[in-house]
Each structure stands twice: as structure tokens, then as C-alpha cells.
Amino acid sequence: MPEILIRCPVTGKDVSTGVALPAEVFLVADFETYPVHCPHCGLEHPWDKGAAYLQVPPEREPSRPGPAR
């Protein structure tokens, strides 16, 4: 399940909000403003749905053929 992230306004790095939701739930969910502690700059950043985005899951490595026999 993808995590909801925001971008640190100081460092520009992704910050996890600690919340994970399926994409279809995120699209229709309504969020209040919540603070999150930023591990990158040490500050607390308020976030709402307008500032949030879903983590893009890492791409799977393409299958590699085994050794020839």
C-alpha cells in the first residue's frame, strides 16, 4: 500500500506522513491539516491533501534469463 508523502519545504526531500492508503481511497479521502516531524530538517510541517501525494512504488526489476544449459 503506498504511503502518503509531502515534500520538505527546506530540503525538497520526500517526508512520510506515516499514513498509507490505497490509491482509490486517497483520491476520495478528505484530510484535515496535520503536522509531521521532518527527519531531514528537524522542523514540523503541517500538511493537508493539497500538499500530499502517494509514494510511487519501486519498479520491479525485469526478469533476467537464467544461465544457458
The residue ranges of every structural domain in the chain are 3-54
Q: What number is the average pLDDT over the span 1-16?
A: 95
Neighbour tally for 53: CB within 10 Å: 15
CB distance 55 to 32 below 8 Å: no
Indicate the pLDDT class of residue 62, thresholds 50, 70 and 90. Answer: very low
Task: Tell me what percent of the residues of the chain surpass a pLDDT of 70.
Answer: 81
Indicate the pLDDT class of residue 32, thresholds 50, 70 and 90. Answer: confident
**CA separation for the pair 32, 23 (Å, rounded):** 18
Higher pLDDT, 69 or 32: 32
